[in-house]
Structure 1
Amino acid sequence: MKLVVRVKLLPTPGQASVLEATLRACNRAATYAAQVAFTKKLTDRNGLQKEVYADLKATFGLSAQPAVRAVKKVVDAYAALKAGLRAGKLGAPTSRRYRKAVSAAIAFRAQAAQPFDDRCLSWQYDARTVSIWTVDGRMKGVRFVCSPDQMKTLVEYRKGESDLVFRNGKWYLVATCELPEPEVYEPVDWIGVDRGIVNLATTSDGTNYQGRRLGRYRRWQAHKRAELQRKQTRSATRRLARRAQKEHRHATHVNHRISKGIVSVAQRTGRGIAVEQLGGIRERVRLRRDQRATLSSWSFHQLGQHLAYKAKKAGVPFVEVDARHTSQRCPRCGHTERANRSERDHFRCRRCGLAGPADVVAGVNVRNRARSAWAFVTMPVPSPA
């Protein structure tokens, strides 16, 4: 399985200025290559490289391998755009966003991330430095810092490209690592996980990860955003972007903590993890205007991704089950009715009287469906007579 490790670079002021000049040169070259690809409708890497390779070296000062990486960067960007258009991420072909995306060539920001392969960048783990190609030649001895776990992963599993990133005045290297996948064990049972907004995650064991603190944090950020938006200045716009990044990092950290706790419990007890399939939920539900911001900021998909890759890394079985009526179905008698959950926090079956926290009941239903799904998947196929 592939993971990325982000380490922080500590360049000197002179090294930082050279790195910034390198990023700008690479992105100017990539923007030029993207314009050529758009004008001449070149979609394959070899065809585009034959067309622009000499210009990238002569005009933009790139060496052979950085020029090749710039071409690949352009081809990958157009492939990602095509996939996004095909998936409907930019709306219908008649929408404004769709027409804008296909009517002009891709342009890269001056300080956009740039990929480097092992010919352009080498790691010295013992010295905690890197050697990297720049427009002023090979730059050696650029220091980096990371945690012991990150260093161990880099030494043992780093493979492929590393991206040079400049963000908020700081330099980073994002390295790709390929970890071996442990064999998934046969679970003795399952932990059902119900994801929500008020309670971010509730397990069938009764463990509840509340979202009150995150909700208060998001409301406070929304208040600050409104204040900045009223100013309508360039400085306020920059601060808005920084606040959005900070809020995203905070929500990601919360999801990491929740998923790590659930996976550790499943691994320790020999159980698997089951979650609901919530894809498309934003399109299915109808909300009041005051509820739309809350739903749009609900990071249920990210929590599911964290659970999936952490479970895969630990060898824990992971399944997604049908989400229909998990909060309205009685796990004891099977009676399903909307009135079973007359309040958000409470469940009471109208037939058998089973009562309890609604989110825990939903987690139990997810667990029960995982049992059935896993039994069906692992059922031996009868041999032909």
Structure 2
Amino acid sequence: MKDIADISAVMTDIGTRARAASATLGFAPAEQKRDALLAAADSVWARRQDILAANAQDMEFGRNKGLTDAMMDRLLLTEERIQGICDGLRSVALQDDPVGEVLAEWDQPSGLHIKRVRTPLGVIGVIYESRPNVTADAGALCLKAGNAVILRGGSESFHSSSALHSCLVDGLRKVGLPEDAIQLVPTRDRAAVSEMLTMTDFIDVIVPRGGKGLVGLVQREARVPVFAHLEGIVHIYIDAAADPETVMNVVLNAKTRRTGICGAAECLLIHRDVADTIGQDIIRTLVDAGVEVRSDANFLSIDGVTPASKDDWGCEYLDMIIAARTVESLDDAIEHIRTYGSNHTDCILTEDQTAVDRFFQRLDSAILMHNASTQFADGGEFGMGAEIGIATGKMHARGPVGAAQLTSFKYLVTGDGTTRS
């Protein structure tokens, strides 16, 4: 490798090799890509002790850096989580290959036969923070879709990501695919990110996965197209026709199962007609579970609840904190979400189908849910095996970004000596 002090030269070399690898991946047989991912999964499990040792180094780095408990949870790998990584790799491997899928097919009066088919994007750059499992998820999904990928993990997960990347390369090597198909930027230096954002000759799209600061930086500075993954300012609206048991189960899971993921609930909107019944009960339950509730005046009589400030509306805590307020109506809740949400994931709890229909129709979040925990906002839970992130924009990819979302398409046009008059 070239002198790591010359970040520009290193990134140019990585980009050149990725572009060359993408040319091979574009027509790699489905079975070869499948077998590479299955071999990578086997390698991850066989080398799990090495991965755990690498993760221990990252955890120490994170503690010294003063990361929050939620961020440390994102960073942590356990044997159970490594098993989950292996399961994700195998799940992606066994999915139908998206490349070459016929999306539409028709004949024209002119005699032309036209097909629109899926094709790889080319080279994808993924910039992410903390969670080392993104290394495996992103590498697997990009490979499945026939793309080369350049991974730039967070400084906190440097050792874990390196260990997982090595396993992905094992899989490529075993089946004879280019090892440059999945590359990991070999430095914590932030200059590498700046380089990636301007590598228009080598990278076809950038996928940022992280906090508001990272995504904002990428959107401001990127010359390469971006699939934006914004904050998960996730709302749950408790309607007047909500079932009390459903509210208790769903809200508690949505807030407390894992607070550091983007699908964790951050704001609770409670219809005024049930504020003194279901509302009081769920607020008390959250407080008893160790959640810090920041509320409007309606729930301040409950011990442990503190007044919400204007900054609590539209805040992604990623912690054991939730904002709560009473709303006058379903439309009031919709207006609040439109004002403070991030178009990520929002949920309605109700037994009134008319209310569900209005909620689904009037809001345009990437994911809308009814009577289900927002912790399901995850590509794996959507049957995609894994995801690179939840795209909140409206161009090209939206919602969980799986293998199919990492493709474009081309038209295949067939004639029989056909000419245009």
TM-score, normalisation: structure 1: 0.24
Between 1 and 2, higher relative CO (CA 8 Å, sep ≥ 6) is seen in 2
